[in-house]
Structure 1
Amino acid sequence: MDERGVGLRIRRVFLWAMVVSFCVAAGAGILVLLGVSFGETGGKVLLSTVTVGLFSLAMLCCGATFARAGRSLGVAGVVVSMLTLGWSLVLIWREWSWDFEPFQVLFSGITLTIALSFANLVVASTAHRDQLIRLLLAACLGLTAVAVLLTLLLIWDSGWEGESFPRLYGVVLILAVLCGVLAPLLSSLRKRAGRTPGPGHAVAEPPMAEGAAVEREPVSRPGEPLDPALVAALEREAARRGVSVVQLVHQQWPRERE
């Protein structure tokens, strides 16, 4: 089985887990509004269901890179998400205590999960990469790593006192999100620009030898069907240029339209 098929099956599992979890949570919420009481155990079941749905969404985002070159980033995101999900379920079902350290571990895992999900979505959305897109992608990943480090400092109460820290934190978050939004948008725009010829762009015809006849032989006689091989070749060339077959024919033989 190829890697693309494995990645597709894994994403399908995450998708169905998310759908089932959200449907169960929605149904339970409706029952609560109608006056049905689930008690403490029912509340924990409902909270566990919502938690599984949210982390399934995060793992689905990380699975977007399974069929690409950045699959190691996706695998890391899925592993961190599963570990954080397990720790979340442990905290939901254990006896309540006022010790804050387990929640610091939980918040750290959630921070890493969100960061990796965001990074995988950006990587998966930048299919067309030139020098500018690579620069934006590297800046996004680097700024996201810095944002994670600053967030962990906030969670673990170490070295974030002062007026400069919140300003630096905000600037890093804004720049990370900006690079993460610009990279996929510019990648899509540049990919389309590379496929579509500009207005007035002349379609180059194959060179002809000196003395060769300029006349074109008819591809078929009136009333006869076109050669299937010719039709397939026209469809491939039209798909490569990003136009329809009719537009390709009009571009290649503009005089014959009159």
Structure 2
Amino acid sequence: MKDLRRVVVTLVIGSFSLAALLGIAALLGGGEFTETQGRVLLTTVVVGVESTVVLCLLALAGHRFFPVSVVGGLASVVATGAALTLTWADFAWDSGAWDTLWKTFGVSGVVAGTAAQLALLVALTLRPGRAAGTLGLLLAGTAAAAAVVATMVVVPILGESDPGGTYWRTFGVLAILDVLGSVVLTALGAFGRARVPRPTDAAATPAEPLALTPDLQERVASYARSRGTTPERVLAAAVDRYLAAS
């Protein structure tokens, strides 16, 4: 999983660096700003957004919720392909091909963006060594709101009709709750105090480091390899589950 993450990060940085250089060259090329230069700049934006989404999705590499990143990654590839096709292909605005590509871009873009949002929130909230507790409940509620908001965005795209004022008022309320939950989870997950035991006596000496027997070390390492994670994460999750149960 670490090798996969390294490869993906390298490809993302390399691709966006190339797109950024092309965008700068288009801006500094001199002369009258042409349609081709505009398409190059729009391509830079598309690649930049795709790079950001992929990096967000990589936050769940090795996590049990990694399938969320897989779905988001597939959707982001579709959205990027549709966006680049719309940028460079000469389709008429009212043609069937344009309409199909636009709908494809809209739906896949919403799915990719929602998956990237949830990937970051899960990575911040369900980190090894930190009990989820109330944050887990807030994460579940925010994820539900995000899923409904994404669905309510997709429906008008596919239906090509205005659902009406009540629909959009409901959408607005859920969108606000989604954003509120995301802000609170980010603040508490990234900057909240870690839940670690504090010594009751200020003069207490630190506890001696714990050592695992060779048999336990092998069992933990084998389990970590089978799940594509690290022994440290396995131990942290096991301790958290034991403490929560007791």
Give me the TM-score of the superposition, normalised by structure 1: 0.67
The counterpart of 1:45, out of the listed 40, 44, 47, is: 40
The counterpart of 2:88, out of the listed 87, 93, 96, is: 93
CA shift for structure 1 position 195: 3.2
Name the CA shift for 1:123/1:18 in 2 (closer, same or farther; >3 Å).
Answer: farther
Contact 2:59-2:119 at 8 Å conserved across structures: yes
CA shift for structure 1 position 181: 1.9
The aligned amino acid for 2:120 is L
| Structure 1 SS opposite 2:159 | coil
CA shift for structure 1 position 117: 1.3
- Aligned 1:16-35 pairs, distance under 5 A: 16-29=14-27, 31=28, 35=30
| Structure 2 SS opposite 1:96 | coil
Find the counterpart in structure 1 of residue 8 from structure 2: 10
Q: CA RMSD of the aligned region, Å?
A: 2.8
Report sequence identity in percent: 23
Find the counterpart in structure 2 of residue 124 from structure 1: 123
The aligned amino acid for 2:18 is V
For residues 45 and 190 of structure 1, the distance between their equivalents in structure 2, rounded to whole angstroms, comes to: 42
For residues 36 and 69 of structure 1, the distance between their equivalents in structure 2, rounded to whole angstroms, comes to: 53
The aligned amino acid for 2:105 is L
Name the CA shift for 1:23/1:41 in 2 (closer, same or farther; >3 Å).
Answer: closer
For residues 111 and 59 of structure 1, the distance between their equivalents in structure 2, rounded to whole angstroms, comes to: 14
Of the two, which has the highest radius of gyration? 1
Find the counterpart in structure 1 of residue 230 from structure 2: none
The unaligned stretches of length 5 or more in structure 1 are 207-232, 235-258
Give me the TM-score of the superposition, normalised by structure 2: 0.70
CA shift for structure 1 position 190: 5.0
Query: Greater shift after overlay, 46-55 or 137-146?
Result: 46-55
- Aligned 1:114-193 pairs, distance under 5 A: 114-126=113-125, 127=127, 128-157=130-159, 160-188=162-190, 191-192=193-194
For residues 189 and 47 of structure 1, the distance between their equivalents in structure 2, rounded to whole angstroms, comes to: 35
Name the CA shift for 1:169/1:187 in 2 (closer, same or farther; >3 Å).
Answer: same
Contact 1:129-1:187 at 8 Å conserved across structures: no
CA shift for structure 1 position 19: 3.4
Contact 1:140-1:179 at 8 Å conserved across structures: yes
CA shift for structure 1 position 188: 4.2
Name the CA shift for 1:56/1:205 in 2 (closer, same or farther; >3 Å).
Answer: closer
Q: Which of structures 1 and 2 has the larger relative contact order (alpha carbons within 8 angstroms, sep 6+)?
A: 2
For residues 20 and 69 of structure 1, the distance between their equivalents in structure 2, rounded to whole angstroms, comes to: 33
Contact 1:66-1:75 at 8 Å conserved across structures: no
Contact 2:149-2:171 at 8 Å conserved across structures: yes
Contact 2:121-2:186 at 8 Å conserved across structures: yes
For residues 43 and 168 of structure 2, the distance between their equivalents in structure 1, rounded to whole angstroms, comes to: 33
Q: Deviations for 1:98-127, whole angstroms, at most 9, x for unmatched residues?
A: 233431222122212211111111112222
Find the counterpart in structure 2 of residue 221 from structure 1: none
CA shift for structure 1 position 145: 0.7
For residues 149 and 43 of structure 1, the distance between their equivalents in structure 2, rounded to whole angstroms, comes to: 32
Contact 2:82-2:102 at 8 Å conserved across structures: no
Q: Deviations for 1:218-244, whole angstroms, at most 9, x for unmatched residues?
A: xxxxxxxxxxxxxxx68xxxxxxxxxx
For residues 40 and 51 of structure 1, the distance between their equivalents in structure 2, rounded to whole angstroms, comes to: 16
